[in-house]
Amino acid sequence: MILRVPYDELPVLLTADLASAGLDPERVHAMVVDAFDEDLPDGGLDVTSAAIPSLVVGAGGFVAREPGVVSGLGVAELAFYYAMGEGVEVTDRVPDGTRVEAGDTVLRVAGLLQDLLTAERTALNFACHLSGVATATAHWVAALEGTRAKVLDTRKTLPGWRALQKYAVRCGGGVNHRFSLSDRAMVKDNHVVAAGGVVPAYQAVVAANPGLRVEVEVTDLDQLRELLEVGCTEILLDNMDTPTMAEAVEITAGRATLEASGGLTLERAREVAETGVDFISVGALTHSVKVFDLGLDLDEQ
C-alpha cells in the first residue's frame, strides 16, 4: 500500500525545484493526490502489483521512445515520493526543457517493486503529457527560427492543468499568454457584438480596467484601422490569410503588437511569421497535443 506522503513532508529540495519553475508545489501535490485517488479509490490496493513479493527491490529508467523535449519530470518525481516516501530514490533526472533522442534515459528510479509498479503510470501520465506539450511547442519554435515571431499558448487548456501545461510550453521555448480572465483583457468577437462595435468594446473595457493590458481581436483591416486610431496597442488578427496579415503589418507600422491566430498549421507557420507579426498563438499546443512516448524500463533482476 502506498504511503500517501502529505505535502508538508515532501523534501524541501523537491518543492523548491518546482517553485523555481514557476509552479505552485502545493497545487502540484494536490494534483498528484487526485491522480492516485483515481487509481486507488478508498485507499484500495493495486491488485496486480500487490501480487509481487513485498520486499523485492528493483530499479529502472524512464526512457524516451522518440526524439523531443522533456517536461514534467519533477512532477513525476513528486508522484514517486508521494507513493513511496524515503523508500524511493530518483537519480539522473535531466532538466525539464532538455532535448532528448530515442533511447535516452531521462531519470532513474529505485525502490520496492510493488510500489514502483503502482506509481509508474501516474508518474508517466504527467511526464508524457507535459513532454508532449513541450515537444509540440519546440516544433513551432523551430519553424519560426530567424523571424521576429514568438509562439504563444492560449487558455484552451485542460481544466485544472493550466499551470502545468503553460509551464511545459515554456520548456519548449514558447511564451505564455494570459493565465486567467482577470490578469489581462481580451476583447473577442462576441464582446464586439455585445458592445455594438470594435471601438466601443475596446473603450468600454479600457474604462472599466484602468492600467490593465487590453488586446482586441479583429477580423478585417477596417477594424484594425479603427483600433489604431483610438490608440489600441495589442491586436489579434483572427483567421486572416497571409497576404491580409502582411498588409495589416504594413498598416500598423509598429504602432501595436500583432498576434496571428486561427486556423494556423505548423506547415504554414513560417510564411505567417514572415509577414512580420509579433506572435503566433496556437491552441493546439495544449488542447490537442500528442503525448510524448516515455516508458519505464525495469532493470533485469
**Domains in the chain, CATH or no CATH each:** 7-136+290-298 (3.90.1170.20), 142-287 (3.20.20.70)
**Alpha-carbon gap, residue 131 to 11, rounded angstroms:** 24
**Alpha-carbon gap, residue 224 to 221, rounded angstroms:** 5
The pLDDT score that the predictor gives to residue 296 is: 98
Nearest of 276, 298, 226 to residue 62 by alpha carbon? 298
Running DSSP on this structure, what letter comes out for residue 278? S
Q: Which three cell numbers stand for residue 90?
A: 530518483
How far from the centroid of its chain's Cα atoms is residue 72's Cα? Answer: 10
pLDDT tens for each residue of 39-88: 999 888 899 998 888 779 999 999 999 999 999 999 999 999 999 999 99
pLDDT tens for each residue of 264-274: 999 999 999 99
Nearest of 285, 296, 300 to residue 123 by alpha carbon? 296
Q: Which three cell numbers stand for residue 68?
A: 523531443
pLDDT tens for each residue of 175-220: 999 999 999 999 999 999 999 999 999 999 999 999 999 999 999 9
Number of H helices, E strands in the chain: 11, 12
CB of 238 closer than 8 Å to CB of 221? no
**Alpha-carbon gap, residue 20 to 37, rounded angstroms:** 27
Q: How confident is the model at residue 1 (pLDDT cuts 50, 70, 90)?
A: confident
Give the residue numbers annotated as catalytic, written as ranges: 121, 156, 188, 217, 238
CB of 289 closer than 8 Å to CB of 153? no
* Lookup result for grid cell 486561427: 262
